[in-house]
Amino acid sequence: MIAQQQLHFLLTDTVPSRRNGSVPPKDETIREDRTIVLKTEHLTRVVFGKRLVDDITIAIEKGEVVAVVGPSGSGKSSFLRLLNRLDEPTTGTVYLEGADYRQLAPRVLRRRVGMVTQIPYLFPGTVADNLRYGPRQRGENLSEQIIEALLDQVGLADRAESDVANLSGGEAQRVSLARAIANGPTVLLMDEPTSALDEESKLEVEALILKVVRQNALTCVIVSHDPAQAARIAGRAVMIKAGRLEKVGPAAEIGHVARFLS
C-alpha cells in the first residue's frame, strides 16, 4: 500500500503548502531537507568498447531538480537509463537513499525511481487503465478518487475514461506524467519530455512538470537538449560530453555554457 499512502495527500488538505497556485519558484533555498537521495558513484557503461557513460559521480539532494544537458549523442539518455537500471552499469553503481540499488529488486527500484520518456508510450485502453498499471503490479487498485486527483494535477480532470488513442501529444505526455506519479516515486527521471511536442504544448507541459514535481516533493533528474529549458526548470545542471561529466553548477550558468558549445 506504499503508493496509496503516498498518494493520499492528493485527497486531503495536508498537502505541502507549495501544492496550489502557479509554478513555484525554483529557488534552491526553499528546500529544507538536504538529504542525499540519489548518488552515482563512478557510473560507467561501456558498449562494444565505446564509453557511453564514463565515470560519473554525482549526488542529488531531496527535492532537487537537476538537468542533464549536453550535445546530441553525449550520453545524457544513457546516463538516465542507468539511474533506474533499465541498462546495467559496466562499473560503478547508484545509491538510492543510501542503499546500493543492486541490492534492491528491479521492480522495487523502478517503483521508487519513476520515469517519463520522450515519447509517451501509453498502453492501449483508457487513461485510467494507464494510471492503474504501476500500482496493479503490486496488487493495488487505485481508487477512482485518486485517479481523478492525479488527473486534476496534470490538467486532465474528467478524462479518466477517455481512450488513449484519442489524446493529443501534449495530453498523452500529461497522462504519462500522471502515470509515473501514480506509482508514488521518490525520484522522477525525465528524458526530453517535451521534445516531441509542438511549441505551445511544450511550454504547457514544462510548467506542468515543474508544478507536479514540487507538489509531490519529488527529486527530479531531467534530460534536455535545450539549455534554456534546463535553466527554466532546474536549479542545478550537469553537462555531459562524450559520456564524461564536464561541468556541474547552477542551471543558468551551465545552460549558458551548453548553449555556447551547441
Partner 1 sequence: MLQDFFHNQWALGAAQAAASALLVLAVMLLARRRKIHLEREMIVALVRGLVQIVAVGSVFIVLLRRPAWTGMALLAAMIVAAARISAGRAKGIPGTFPVSLCAMAAGSGCVIVLMMLAGVIDTTITSLVPLGSMLIYNAMNANSLTLNRFRAEVESHFGLVETALALGADSKDAVAPYSAVSFRTSLIPAVDSLKSLGIVWIPGLMGGMLLAGTDPIYAAVYQFVTISMILSSSGLTSLVSSVLIRARAFSPADQLLLRPGASAPGGALSAPPK
* Beta carbon of residue 106, minimum distance to partner 1 (angstroms, whole number): 4
Among 6, 55, 58, 90, binds partner 1 (CB under 8 A): 90
Q: Is 5 in the site for partner 1 (CB under 8 A)?
A: no
Positive/negative CA dihedral, 8, 208, 141, 87: negative
Q: Is 139 in the site for partner 1 (CB under 8 A)?
A: no
Q: Is 121 in the site for partner 1 (CB under 8 A)?
A: yes
* Beta carbon of residue 164, minimum distance to partner 1 (angstroms, whole number): 12
Q: Which is nearer to partner 1, 28 or 97 (CB)?
A: 97
Closest by CA to 155, choosing from 227, 207, 88, is 207
Among 16, 21, 25, 106, binds partner 1 (CB under 8 A): 106
Q: Is 114 in the site for partner 1 (CB under 8 A)?
A: yes
Q: Is 42 in the site for partner 1 (CB under 8 A)?
A: no
Q: Which is nearer to partner 1, 76 or 110 (CB)?
A: 110
CB contact set of 54 (below 8 Å; sequence gap of 6+): 44, 75, 242, 243, 244
**Cα 257 from chain centroid (whole Å):** 23
Give me the residues paired with residue 191 across strands.
Answer: 223
CB contact set of 50 (below 8 Å; sequence gap of 6+): none
Look-up of cell digits 546495467 = 88
* Beta carbon of residue 103, minimum distance to partner 1 (angstroms, whole number): 12
